[in-house]
Structure 1
Amino acid sequence: MLSRMCVGRSVLNVRQTLRSPVPQNYVPKNYVIRNYAREPRSRVASPTHAQPSVWARLMAPAGPNAFSLGKGALAGASAVGLAALCFYGSGVKPGICQEAHLWPKYVKDRIQATYGYIGASLALTAGSAYTVFRTPVLFNLVARNGWMSIIMTLGLMIGSGMVVRGMDYTPGFGAKQLAWIVHTGIMGAVIAPMCFLGGAALTRAAWYTAGVVGGLSTIAICAPSGEFLNMRAPLAMGLGAVFAASLASMFLPPTTALGAGLYSLSLYGGLIVFGGFLLYDTQAIVKRAEVHPVHSYQPYDPINSAISVYLDILNIFMRIAMIVSGGGGNKRK
């Protein structure tokens, strides 16, 4: 009887042992294990994870703060502009507005004619953009993609501008005035696709542009004559950097880190650069109106003086419109 009980208990213990799960990493006692290296030993420890290359980091997806540097630069430039407005507006230095009462009548007439052409250029550009946007045949010609379309567009813009500047000015309506109308019409046709941004965004951008242009023009008028005429070299270098960034952003999408940086430089940096050009060109208009002789072989040309400020305002408006519409990384979530 006792033997049966012992045998039964031993069988029960064996069954329980067989049924119980065995851990996978179970190692019995007094059991020697040798692990052999699969790679040769080296005194220099190899990293566990390979570091990404510089190109991989540049082509990585853009982070949420990709446009922070551009926004910070624009905020700093705005603060400098407000400080300059307060400084020159306080009358610490005699400005152009304080010397305006000493101008002869022909200087005032020249400045008025120049700003008349500026306003007319903006009106013709807006009308041309609206007309092209509402005409499917013309809009299809403008909105085509491809290198040939881009090259032809740049050629028309640059070529028409050079033709206008190279022609002699005569009072009244002549060949130069006709070429000026064609040039502004071409510029309006080029920016016609911006109408897709919507009327609300374009209206806000127009009001913001008016405020920026008014503030910068006030700074230029309140500052002493020739105060900003020494900024040509730095502005030219900045324009070259913005132009290079604009060309590079055509090949690199703004969804990558490098593409977002280039797009930010083209957008916010261009806004700062063309704001500086507006200061320079505004004082240049006054300087040309003052120093151009009354009796000269070539009369004073208000169209050439107006084109510079007109292009500055147009570039400022385009960049503000892109920022307002959400193209500058400020989309509401």
Structure 2
Amino acid sequence: MTSLFDRPLPFEAFGQFHNIDAKVQSHLKGVYATLAASVLIAALGATLGQRFAFAFEYPYLVSFACLGFVLWLAMNPEGSSTFGTRAAMFGGYSFFQGVALAPLVWLLAEIDPSIVSTAFLGSVAIFASFSLTALYAQRRVDLWLGGLLSSGLSVLCWTNLLAFFFPSMFFFNIQLYLGLMVFCGYVIFDTQVIIFKATRGDRDVIMHSLELFLDFVNIFVRIASILGKDKKKKK
């Protein structure tokens, strides 16, 4: 829901082709450092979620916890609370997002323990590649991806709803492969939007990190699921 409704197209950026200045570079370092910390916290949540089986027994509580932290961040923008408080809320969201992934990680480990590490390294490589593409692009033409990506995200939402009532591998494969392409595109789009916002004075490290964290998690889930599906088919 956050990905679908909180990504307005900044039309003013379409004609801006300047390089990234020092202040924006400093902001991006903070964003990526926060993102790295959130990924580590999510990994801790996934590990503890498997160990204590909390996500298996109370999945709806985990989902409500994730939603609660996101809503708190959305209702408390930068300046309304201290950075430490907002960072703690983001850390809480990252932790419970990791807990929510515990059943998937456990299932994949049962198929082949190497799938999780391979999927994580693959996600890091893909995320880094698309991020560098956005960072080193001299022109912000990739912002035109926004309309196409929003349409793709809408298709994913509808197929997810249809799959709930009519489960089939067709809808599942759409979620996997189209979803992977959409969120790889969002890495480029979100990175360039963050650069544009930072240039205009919006230096909200937490919310910018959250946008990229959502992209990373969605890429990881789909790569892991694709690897697990292929490995299971071979077995």
**Shift of residue 160 of structure 1?**
2.2
Larger Rg computed on CA atoms: 1
- Which residue, out of 26, 38, 50, partners 1:133? 50
Say if 2:141 is the partner of 1:231. Answer: no
Q: Deviations over 1:286-326 (max 9, x none)?
A: 1122121xxxxxx7211111111110010000000001112
Q: Is the 8 A contact 2:123 2:219 kept in 1?
A: yes
Say if 2:223 is the partner of 1:303. Answer: no
For residue 224 of structure 1, what is the amino acid of its counterpart?
A: Q
Q: Is the 8 A contact 1:164 1:183 kept in 2?
A: no
What is the CA–CA distance in structure 1 between the aligned matches of 2:191 and 2:74, rounded to whole Å? 18
- Which residue, out of 264, 269, 272, partners 2:173? 264
For residue 37 of structure 2, what is the amino acid of its counterpart?
A: A
Determine the structure 1 residue equivalent to 2:97. Answer: 187
Determine the structure 1 residue equivalent to 2:114. Answer: 200
Say if 2:18 is the partner of 1:115. Answer: no
**Shift of residue 130 of structure 1?**
0.5
What is the CA–CA distance in structure 2 between the aligned matches of 1:329 and 1:248, rounded to whole Å? 26
SS in 1 for 2:119: helix
Alignment of 1:279-298 (within 5 A): 279-292=188-201
For residue 206 of structure 2, what is the amino acid of its counterpart?
A: I
Q: Is the 8 A contact 1:323 1:330 kept in 2?
A: no
**Shift of residue 191 of structure 1?**
0.7
What is the CA–CA distance in structure 1 between the aligned matches of 2:62 and 2:151, rounded to whole Å? 24
Determine the structure 2 residue equivalent to 1:244. Answer: 158
How many equivalent residue pairs?
214
Q: Is the 8 A contact 2:39 2:213 kept in 1?
A: yes
Q: Is the 8 A contact 1:142 1:190 kept in 2?
A: no
**Shift of residue 173 of structure 1?**
4.9
Q: Is the 8 A contact 2:73 2:89 kept in 1?
A: yes
What is the CA–CA distance in structure 2 between the aligned matches of 1:163 and 1:182, rounded to whole Å? 11
For residue 331 of structure 1, what is the amino acid of its counterpart?
A: K
Q: Is the 8 A contact 2:160 2:175 kept in 1?
A: yes
What is the CA–CA distance in structure 2 between the aligned matches of 1:300 and 1:219, rounded to whole Å? 21
**Shift of residue 175 of structure 1?**
2.2
Say if 2:78 is the partner of 1:175. Answer: no
SS in 2 for 1:231: helix
Identity %: 23
What is the CA–CA distance in structure 2 between the aligned matches of 1:185 and 1:224, rounded to whole Å? 36
- Which residue, out of 201, 215, 219, partners 1:316? 219
Determine the structure 1 residue equivalent to 2:7. Answer: none
Q: Deviations over 1:163-183 (max 9, x none)?
A: 213213359753212211211
**Shift of residue 129 of structure 1?**
1.0
SS in 2 for 1:240: helix
Change (3 A) 1:158 1:139: closer
**Shift of residue 274 of structure 1?**
0.6
Unaligned runs of 5+ in 1: 1-94, 144-148, 254-258, 293-298
Unaligned runs of 5+ in 2: 1-16
**Shift of residue 231 of structure 1?**
2.0
SS in 1 for 2:234: coil
SS in 1 for 2:95: helix
SS in 2 for 1:247: helix
For residue 141 of structure 1, what is the amino acid of its counterpart?
A: E
**Shift of residue 210 of structure 1?**
1.5
Say if 2:233 is the partner of 1:331. Answer: yes
- TM-score, normalised via structure 1 length: 0.59
